[in-house]
Structure 1
Amino acid sequence: MKQNMNRWQVLIASTVVLLCTGAIYAFSVFAGPLSATKSWGMPEIMLAFTINSAVAPIPMILGGFFTDRGLAKWSITVGGLMFGLGFCLSGLATSPTMLYLTYGLLAGIGQGLAYSGCLSNTIKLFPDKKGLAAGIITAGMGGAAIIAAPIANFFIQNYDVTFAFRVLGIAYMLIILIASLFIKSASGNQTPKTAQPIAGQEKLDNANKNWLDMLKTPTFYIIFLMMFTGAFSGLMIAANASVIGQQMFGLTPTTAAFYVSLYSLSNCLGRVIWGTVSDKLGRNNTLYIILGVIILAFVLLLSLSSATGFAISIMILGICFGGVMGVYPPLVMENYGPINQGVNYGIVFCGYSVAAFFGPKIAVSIAKSNQGDFSKAFYVAIAVAVVGLILNFVYQKVKGAAQN
């Protein structure tokens, strides 16, 4: 059934919300100053980022539940405000435990609610351009640090890190409130009148599976593991880009913050580029390319010792990480239908959270054992990407067998 709705307005407003909540990817800019100001160890501080990312599936599934029932606007608004409040209160943290509660839990839960509502609601409005829509909407998350990193660094340099947390948190809450006024919820199998008809859409709509049915399919477990392998390297770099730049390539904090913005810009562009490419080449062919390029980027990172080499490598990794985040939402919808996309993708997204727990943690631990050198962590990332290539091949075989 067709419904009247300006889907591009919803897409733009939702992207603005995620340009706020995506500030989690600029955490490496805050980590060093926090350690210096509070005298907390880097592993203690990075645990806040790990908690923030690891709790995401819980609110994502909850947000998906509301979104699938036409309450996406509620999920987005409440989640966005929780994120902004958590970010602001992080500036008042007097202990690592308090940071875990504010940045880790409160901001993490809010970010998950908003992300789930924005992504699942918007992709339902673009059945004819699923990859493009997912790419643009997730670009908000990936591109947020382009804005957040230099602004945060300015406030840190001219005031202090706690001030930066507080002022950005307040700004995020205000922006999210305004953007939420332009968001409308998609309803069931209804699609906007402007959506172009696509071959096989009726078959997709009739193949809707809820989360229990999804868990009974072998493809779910492969997709889950594929999500882990795709997100692992991107999260490793996102959490540590500034630290890697300073410790391994001799960058100043200001220059390192600029490089974090480069990574985020690449992440942002990658989501749109690869999402669009996957509409043309197919999700799995696109994933083969992405994972292969990830391996190449880490080889470059290990081979090139200059700041320019570092910049090139992390830009490539950013583009590929963005591609992973842009390809999986439509991949899940194509397997399990649009009706329960919110909950289904929230469950699949647990693979991302597992990667968020292990990726940054492994990188920091290895660097600590090697006087700040992340090289061995890069080898781990290469191995994980190779496993991803194998899983992608297995998925195609299993999927093909199920269709015959």
Structure 2
Amino acid sequence: MKILTHKSELKVLGLPADQGRWLLLPLGMSVLLCLGSIYAWSVFRKPLESELNISATESLLPFTVALVFYAALMPIAGFYISKLGTRTMTAIGGIIVGCGYLLSSFVHQIEMMVLTYGVIAGTGVGIAYGVPMVVVSRWFPDQKGLAVGLTIVGFGLSPLITAPLANQLIDIYTVRPTLRILGIIFTIVILAIACTLKLPPKDWHPQRDFAASSTIAARTYPANLFKSRSFYGLWICYAIATLIGLSAIGISSPVGEEMINIDPKFAASSVALFAVFNGMSRPLFGWLSDRLQPHRVAIASYTLILIACILMANAQPGQVARYLIAFCLFWFCLGGWLAMAPTITLRFFHPDQYAQNYGIVFTAYGVGALVGTLATGRIRDWLGTYTYAFYPMALLAIVGIIVASSMLKYDSSRPITQESL
């Protein structure tokens, strides 16, 4: 990507920067679409269970480990983006993801699949995931939330594209060649786009926003992330939202089958509807987080979650509409938080340290994912129904409202200005 240093001549992909920057949104979205393919793992499970003679629990291990490494590498990678550069980090992540898929196509034991797909591919996702958001947030200082929300849509909607593609390839070539093909495709796409992901010059602002740039530059931020009350408020709120959201996602189909008595095929197809709501909410909540006080947006999200919990706690067999509405809300709010958390991080803390800061905030996602997916399964095993899982979810939503009201607010204690760094 050719970028000239003079502000009036600055170009992005051959266009004036104010216009060319919009092309970075679909490019970043495409990178995240490739990375989000890890959520399509369910397509590979059945073929591998038959081929490797493994249980359903064992076939889930590569995906679980991939999520753990994805969440664990995010904060580590954040500290290296400024040192290695956005293009290098994206390329490294893409190559590692591709290698994970390619190596997975050659192994014949589930333990090795956990290593190749879980550890290696999951690591690649964690390395590259944050880069497109860093890039668009810097190119869109005037619309950070909307830009981040639009970019991250690619990750949320990825299963809608990559899962049918993988399923079709498996029907034609079987599972191992499919992993090989996808690994090659993802590597090529990410490497090609990596060349375009470059940050703008420091303190760059679009021409129409130039008058407001002095206000942005004079903004103060907490000097220490870990001494900021707002950081702990954001971390707790994010952990609660992801715990509830990922718990609901994990039991979407089983709840439909066991509690509502719907056809398994209908339950599975309804997940596509939920995924659409998950994708739609990201630009919406990002946009809202730009324009409203973050704690108000968070309270609105938790209120929707609370409504969904109440609907499902009183659900009866045959109440299909109630089930669809509730789980659309669960998926909608989780997608919203995946846009809200990075946007609020940008608003509360110094944007020049965004990659490191959001990497630390993102650890809340890892904790929520681990606790949430384990807790719902335990409740089902102990009590014999998923109904009782919605009571602690409702309680957590209330806790989230309280935390957001008291802690998810701008903290300027021990402040620093943008110019002082």
Q: Is the 8 A contact 2:283 2:339 kept in 1?
A: yes
Q: Confirm whether residue 172 of structure 1 aligns to residue 186 of structure 2.
A: yes
Offset at residue 353 of structure 1 (A) = 0.8
How many residues align? The count is: 398
Corresponding residue of 1:62: 76
Structure 2: which amino acid aligns with 1:291?
Answer: Y
In structure 2, give the amino acid aligned to 1:385.
Answer: A
What is aligned with 1:378?
390
- Within the candidate set 218, 234, 241, 1:203 is matched to 218
| Contact 1:64 1:120 (8 Å CA) reproduced | no
Q: Which residue of 1 aligns with 2:336?
A: 323
1:23 aligns to what? 37
Identity of aligned residues (%): 29
What TM-score, normalized by structure 2, do the two folds share? 0.83
CA–CA separation in structure 2 for the residues paired with 1:136 and 1:153: 27
The superposition leaves residues 300-339 of structure 1 with CA deviations (integer Å, 9 ceiling, x where unpaired) of 2341544444333322222111110111112112221111
For residue 182 of structure 1, give the secondary structure of its aligned residue in structure 2. coil
Shift, 1:82, TM fit? 1.7
2:23 aligns with 9
- The one-letter amino acid of 1:14's match is G
What does the per-residue CA deviation read over 1:222-262, in whole Å, with 9 as the maximum and x for residues that have no partner? 22111101111222233444454455556666544433322
In the aligned structure 2, how far is the partner of 1:182 from the partner of 1:148? 23
Tell me, yes or no, if the aligned pair for 1:54 and 1:354 is still in contact at 8 Å: no
Give the match for residue 111 of structure 1. Answer: 125
Structure with higher Rg: it is 2
Partner of 1:230: 241
| One-letter code aligned to 2:353 | N
Q: Secondary structure of the equivalent of 1:207?
A: strand
CA distance in 1 between partners of 2:381 and 2:170 (Å) = 25
Report how far residue 93 of structure 1 moved.
4.3
Partner of 2:86: 72
| Counterpart code for 2:357 | N
Mapped contact 1:32–1:243 kept (Cα < 8 A) = no
Aligned to 2:280: 269
Q: CA deviation at 1:156?
A: 4.9
Q: Whose relative contact order is higher, 1 or 2, with alpha carbons under 8 Å and at least 6 apart?
A: 1
Distance change (3 Å), C-alpha of 1:20 and 1:242: farther
Q: Establish whether residue 347 from structure 1 lines up as the match of residue 360 from structure 2.
A: yes
Q: Deviations over 1:256-315 (max 9, x none)?
A: 443332222211111011111222322211111111101212332341544444333322
Deviation at 1:111, TM superposition (A): 0.8
Give the CA RMSD over aligned residues.
3.0
Specify whether residues 207 and 400 from structure 1 end up closer, same or farther in structure 2 by C-alpha distance, changes over 3 A only: closer
Secondary structure of 2:129's counterpart equals helix
**Any gaps of 5 or more consecutive residues in structure 1?**
none
Please report how far the alpha carbon of residue 207 of structure 1 lies from its aligned counterpart in structure 2 after TM superposition.
3.4
User: For 1:255 and 1:173, how far apart are their aligned partners in 2?
Assistant: 34
